[in-house]
Structure 1
């Protein structure tokens, strides 16, 4: 609240959104557990911007292998991306079998092939049981997990994808490689 000659006026406070759901052992994590920098991504497998971010995050992890770990959380925007929820559930089904990151990578590398037929082919390419995974997706066996990530994103102020948090603070910059490396290095050096 500020005071002027015409009486009190209010000014909006700028608050940087923070991650409201801490990283825990149920999250999908890539990189060293003791890394000084944790990047949490809320993503949608059908979002082309997430596809671009995926390539850059993968490279940032490669270049800062001992410094950063990546946590992936689902934020399928189903009203724009009709295959996003099924893709998230396929990733969870693969994760149940210890293959989350392989499926994650396949989904981002084949974003234009996320319809049910191609998803089934992707599952087979990774050597997973397509019938079992298909049945799990059909009965929405992993919908609660996907929904939990989505709701956690909403609580953290996520309103689009990709949204990144670096050590629990929302990354307001872009997701091209130089910007990601600057953000990681700034937090690592702090």
Structure 2
């Protein structure tokens, strides 16, 4: 989570690290968050990224989600998410270790967590939450618990976020 739950707007994104549209929307949200934080206030928008790996069409997404959670334990979830979404074509294990190393993670711990799938329950909770909320594919957004159904443009998404705060 980036921000606080008591923010005027809580934006939840269900994403898949191998989904090109998830990467595009993630970048869009990060830009909107920066802009709104600068112009309104730092805690105007709370952004929550939830895993919704679609293993049947994205074979590396689940392992990438595990890498993100292994990085989260070491305080690097957002940096790892940025990296994974920026390098979607390279999500095999050797790259995940390279990204962890680049972020300065404890590699022995990372290598212990990944094959044992110690974070799989956390990822499955996100997927189950998405399914309960009607998510079938990625990306899926919820603004203050209401499913976003607008167009995937910066202008429309930003307008929906601002409107949700009133």
With the shorter chain as reference, the TM-score category is: over 0.9
Larger helix proportion, structure 1 or 2? Answer: 2
Determine the C-alpha separation between the residues in 1 that align with 2:58 and 2:151: 22
Counterpart for residue 138 of structure 1: 115
Alpha-carbon distance between aligned partners in 2 of 1:161 and 1:134, rounded to the nearest angstrom: 28
Cα distance in 2 between the residues matched to 1:129 and 1:31: 26
Unaligned runs of 5+ in 2: none
Pairing partner for 2:33 from 34, 58, 61:
61
Deviation at 1:170, TM superposition (A): 0.4
Aligned equivalents of 2:92 and 2:75: distance in 1?
A: 23
Runs of 4+ in 1 over 4 A off after TM superposition: none
Q: Which residue of 2 is the match for residue 85 of structure 1?
A: 62
Match of 2:24 in 1: 52
TM-score after normalising by structure 1: 0.82
Please name the residue that 1:125 is paired with. Answer: 102
SS at match of 2:49: strand
Match of 1:103 among 72, 80, 83: 80
Counterpart selection for 2:14 from 42, 48, 52: 42
CA distance in 1, matches of 2:130, 2:5: 22
Checking the alignment, whether the CA contact within 8 Å between 1:31 and 1:61 is kept in structure 2 is no
Q: Which has the larger radius of gyration?
A: 1
In the TM superposition, residue 32 of structure 1 has moved relative to its aligned partner by: 4.1
Deviation (angstroms), 1:131 = 3.1
Q: Distance in 2 between matches of 1:155 and 1:83?
A: 24
How high is the TM-score relative to the length of structure 2? 0.93
- The count of corresponding residues between Structure 1 and Structure 2 is 161
- Output the CA distance in 2 between the equivalents of 1:176 and 1:72: 19
Shift of 1:130: 2.5
Aligned residues of 1:102 and 1:126 also touching (Cα < 8 A): yes
* Shift of residue 140, structure 1, vs aligned partner: 0.7
Aligned to 2:131: 154
